[in-house]
Amino acid sequence: MMVIPDGTKNTHSFRIPKVIWNSLLIIFAFATILIAILTYDYFQILQQVYRNKYLSTENSQLKEQVQILQLKMNSLLTDVERIQEFEKKLRIMSGVERSIENDKKEKEEEIDIKILMDNRSIRLSPDYSLLNQLYFQKLSPSNSDQRLSLFSLTQPYETTTTQDAESLAMLDFKINNASSIVRTLEKRVGIIENEISRKKYFYQYTPSIYPTDGWVTSYYGPRKSHYAKRIKMHEGIDIGAPSGHPINATADGIISYAGKKPGFGNFIKIKHGYGIETIYAHAKKLFVKSGQQIKRGQKIASVGSTGYSTGPHVHYEVRVNAVPVDPLYFILN
């Protein structure tokens, strides 16, 4: 290398060793490659951060949806439980007998409903553990990039996704079991429906509704009498309602008696056939007479407090072959 100064000064020349020159080139090339790698990693990290932010938002929405579905699922299970009770009443009324195997299965399903409504009681099988892992693998970011884990960029999202995967697996478990129970109930109700269709005429004359809109103030069974001051058998139910509220027939039949009866005040007895009778007592006013044919839901009297009564209500009884039975067994509404 040569340096030429201005004026008359001497010219100087020197040489850069080849080794140093090559070393500088190598260092420059290495620095260029390193900067390129760091730049690439930087943009990869930015891309991963953006993707994680997007997935985190999506995951939050998913979590809210899972919670809503869980609430809806619990509400559905409550409805299924209520339908099971309704199916029992229908079966009792229809006379459809159940086998020992079906009774055992029904008890197992009743337990299943209660367990399904409490997540803490559920222990998922290995199949659902696998399902959990599949959800996790599908929703979580790739774990192959170990550089990102050094910055703890994916850890918060992975934890949340694991929880969501467990919730989804739990929800899937509940849906599958509830669906199985519903299918079984559907078959049972279908059998009962066929039996009811076959016995339509019989059920037309079978009590199946409340005689008035109100609330049950006293149930069937032993109780202390307000007047006798001792324990007596209460052979029906008392339904409290405002004075003058309609009392309706609970099934088709013929009025066998309508008038006053000691202790019961204004009193109606209806014969429905097949050995079934219903009784309505303490009425304020009667709208039917003996021998009259009536239909289910027809107004026959109004709520009152006649006879031995402490307030406006209707005393309602159901008798089968002259034997009092609990009227609630016959009420479907």
Q: What is the mean pLDDT of the chain?
A: 78
pLDDT score of 80 more than 90: no
103-143 pLDDT, tens digit per residue, is 555 555 555 666 666 665 566 655 555 455 545 444 444 44
CA distance 239 to 303: 9
Residue 76 or 150, more confident:
76
248-287 pLDDT, tens digit per residue, is 999 999 999 999 999 999 999 999 988 999 999 999 999 9
169-196 pLDDT, tens digit per residue, is 777 777 777 787 888 888 888 888 777 7
Write the burial class of residue 11 (CB in 10 Å: 0-12 exposed, 13-18 middle, 19+ buried).
exposed
Cβ density class 146-169: b for 16+ within 10 Å, e for less: eebeeeebbeebeebbbebbbbbb
pLDDT score of 318 more than 90: yes
Predicted local confidence at residue 231, as pLDDT: 86
Predicted local confidence at residue 106, as pLDDT: 58
Residue 97 or 57, more confident:
57
Q: 10 pLDDT band (50/70/90 cuts)?
A: low
